[in-house]
């Protein structure tokens, strides 16, 4: 048995002022066949990584293709996308014949000229391998679950957890179903239900937690192979943006249709009840200071690099400084030039620094302050579950009672190392402000006395009515009150 695996992935915020080119992939994941590290998967590469570890025991030969992934930002350059795609297709052509193809994709990638990158990849793979080869795909739950990709693939499995702590487990699920299909033990059929809604659904809150746990309990019995809840990615303006439910059964299309519709109706009934409460900037800071004990973690989801935001909005920081808040830390702010200036000034130096507030109107104005450099470290990393995320060269600066982490490689706050790399210990701080929507919860949730969410004026507003959509199919909730949810595959 011969399987081919590859990755091409990013999450494209089509409103972002930061274009994504080959440089962004080279900075994040740019691995040619055989170059993928042994220890841990990288962004969206779990299918290849899991297959490599299981090839011998499961009796197949793995042919590794390239893995390309970039941190979320704006739309990918067209020529760069086609270059990466065609490299992978060329490797696949050279590997033929294969029994199966494993694709580690994100699912919300947009390139200029391609609103549905993953649909394009899957369709071109299908054209090469023919109808009997088994195509398995793993996607982030923040994907556009388009009809084209669902019809083009045999098996599609999404992450179930947000924060995404189950990337490896879902790749294992996907591979297991691919192997059973090739061996003729199952015949997967998929149904897709379109809930016609935009929303945010952290699985750390009780309603979504119970919903996901129930889906998981259904899998593996009565012919149900897999259930995926597509949350949607609200900041990618493409026609098929929206929440969708995918059910895969063993040969029973009627059962898949009924179950995806039933789960879809339940997901619709949860509209408006799944997101946390958001505070205003000053109100959130005051609420944090009023909590007995520490640390209080304040999240700034509107400036989350993980959703394609620049991560240099200064609004919360400006208020912390103006209010002279003691014993606070904030991170990250992406500003490679400021990091360079801090290295030039040296550890312990006090000097006037302009930082943040550069990339677009939603970044706010830069901070001009007399800062003291309290930490400098080259080539930093932070952990996210089993994966290591690069931060590049980093600097910490102190302004009054506030310490700020400046980074070179744009990322959201994921691991405690973001701070501890530079000698800042989040456990000891009164307030820890993190730029992240919910992934920070994996590491910062356990140490937090309390977690509060602030709606800043960063680009990723939770108020979807503020987003200037042009392409998304209407009607869709909450932009429209009346919608027409339905089975679409």
Q: Which residues bind Zn ion (CB under 5 A)?
A: 140, 142
Measured between alpha carbons, how far apart are the two ends of the chain, in Å?
30
- The nearest distance, CB 149 to Zn ion, in angstroms, is 16
- The nearest distance, CB 143 to Zn ion, in angstroms, is 8
Torsional class of 136: left (φ above 0), alpha (ψ -120 to 50), beta (otherwise): beta
Inter-residue contact 129 to 101 (CB < 8 Å) = yes
- The nearest distance, CB 187 to Zn ion, in angstroms, is 30
CB nearer to Zn ion: pick between 68 and 159: 159
Inter-residue contact 424 to 403 (CB < 8 Å) = yes
365's tokens? 């104005």
Inter-residue contact 105 to 121 (CB < 8 Å) = yes
Q: How far apart are CA 412 and CA 434, in angstroms?
A: 8
CB nearer to Zn ion: pick between 12 and 421: 12
For residue 475, whether the previous peptide bond is cis, meaning omega lies within 30 degrees of 0, is yes
Can you spell out the DSSP letters for 233-248?
-TT---TT-S-EEEEE
Counted residue by residue, the chain has a size of: 489
Q: Which residue is nearest to Zn ion (CB)?
A: 142
- The nearest distance, CB 411 to Zn ion, in angstroms, is 14
- The nearest distance, CB 198 to Zn ion, in angstroms, is 15
Give the closest residue to 21 by CA, choosing from 73, 80, 87, 97.
Answer: 80
CB nearer to Zn ion: pick between 437 and 483: 437
- The nearest distance, CB 232 to Zn ion, in angstroms, is 10
CB nearer to Zn ion: pick between 7 and 483: 7
CB nearer to Zn ion: pick between 140 and 335: 140
CB nearer to Zn ion: pick between 142 and 294: 142
Angle at 153 between CA 94 and CA 50, to 5 degrees: 70
Give the closest residue to 414 by CA, choosing from 448, 450, 439.
Answer: 439
CB atoms within 10 A of CB 441: 23
CB nearer to Zn ion: pick between 152 and 307: 307
- The nearest distance, CB 164 to Zn ion, in angstroms, is 6
Q: How far apart are CA 388 and CA 405, in angstroms?
A: 18
CB nearer to Zn ion: pick between 304 and 456: 304
CB nearer to Zn ion: pick between 198 and 259: 198
CB nearer to Zn ion: pick between 142 and 244: 142
252: exposed, middle or buried (C-beta count within 10 Å: 0-12, 13-18, 19+)?
Answer: middle
Q: How far apart are CA 437 and CA 454, in angstroms?
A: 10
- The nearest distance, CB 69 to Zn ion, in angstroms, is 13
- The nearest distance, CB 439 to Zn ion, in angstroms, is 8
Q: How far apart are CA 27 and CA 120, in angstroms?
A: 24
119's tokens? 């649909």
Inter-residue contact 285 to 319 (CB < 8 Å) = yes
- The nearest distance, CB 141 to Zn ion, in angstroms, is 6
Inter-axis angle of helices 315-322 and 281-290, to 10 degrees? 50
């Amino acid at each position: 048995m011969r399987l081919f695996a590859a990755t091409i992935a990013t999450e494209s915020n089509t409103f972002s002022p930061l274009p994504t080119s080959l440089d962004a992939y080279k900075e994040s994941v740019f691995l040619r066949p055989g170059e993928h590290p042994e220890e841990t998967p990288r962004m969206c590469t779990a299918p290849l990584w899991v297959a490599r570890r299981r090839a011998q025991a499961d009796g197949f030969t793995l042919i590794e293709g390239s893995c390309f992934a970039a941190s979320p930002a704006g739309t990918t350059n067209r020529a760069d996308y086609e270059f990466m795609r065609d490299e992978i297709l060329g490797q696949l052509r050279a590997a033929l014949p294969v029994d199966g193809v494993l694709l580690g994709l994100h699912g919300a990638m947009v390139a200029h000229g391609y609103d549905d990158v993953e649909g394009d990849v899957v369709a071109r793979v299908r054209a090469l391998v023919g109808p009997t080869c088994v195509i398995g795909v793993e996607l982030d739950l923040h994907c556009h679950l388009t009809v084209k990709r669902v019809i083009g693939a045999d098996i599609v499995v999404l992450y179930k957890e947000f924060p995404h702590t189950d990337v490896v487990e879902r790749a294992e699920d996907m591979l297991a179903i691919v192997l059973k299909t090739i061996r003729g033990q199952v015949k997967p059929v998929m149904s897709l239900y379109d809930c016609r809604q935009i929303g945010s659904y952290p699985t750390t809150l009780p309603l979504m937690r119970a919903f996901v746990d129930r889906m998981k309990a259904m899998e593996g019995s009565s012919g149900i192979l897999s259930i995926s809840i597509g949350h949607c990615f609200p900041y990618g303006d493409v026609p098929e943006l929206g929440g969708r439910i995918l059910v895969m059964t063993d040969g029973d299309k009627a059962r898949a249709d009924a179950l995806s519709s039933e789960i879809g109706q339940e997901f619709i009934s949860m509209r408006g009840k799944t997101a946390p409460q958001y505070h205003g900037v000053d109100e959130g800071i005051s609420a944090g200071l009023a909590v007995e004990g520490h640390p209080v973690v304040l999240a700034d989801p509107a400036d989350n690099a993980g959703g394609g935001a620049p991560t240099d909005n200064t609004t919360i920081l400006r208020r912390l400084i103006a209010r002279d808040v003691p014993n606070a830390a904030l991170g990250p702010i992406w500003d490679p030039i400021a990091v360079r200036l801090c290295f030039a000034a040296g550890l312990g130096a006090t000097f006037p620094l302009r930082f943040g507030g550069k990339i677009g109107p939603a970044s706010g104005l830069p901070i001009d302050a007399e800062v003291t450099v309290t930490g400098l470290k080259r080539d930093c990393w932070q952990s996210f579950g089993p994966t290591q995320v690069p931060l590049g060269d980093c600097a910490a600066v102190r302004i009054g009672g506030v310490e700020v982490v400046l980074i070179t490689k744009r990322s959201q706050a994921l691991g405690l190392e973001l701070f501890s790399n530079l000698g800042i210990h989040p456990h000891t701080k009164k307030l820890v402000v993190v730029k992240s929507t919910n992934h920070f919860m994996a590491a910062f949730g356990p140490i937090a006395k309390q977690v509060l969410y602030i709606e800043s004026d960063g680009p990723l507003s939770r108020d979807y009515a503020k987003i200037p959509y042009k392409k998304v199919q209407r009607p869709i909730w909450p932009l429209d009150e009346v919608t027409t949810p339905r089975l679409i595959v």
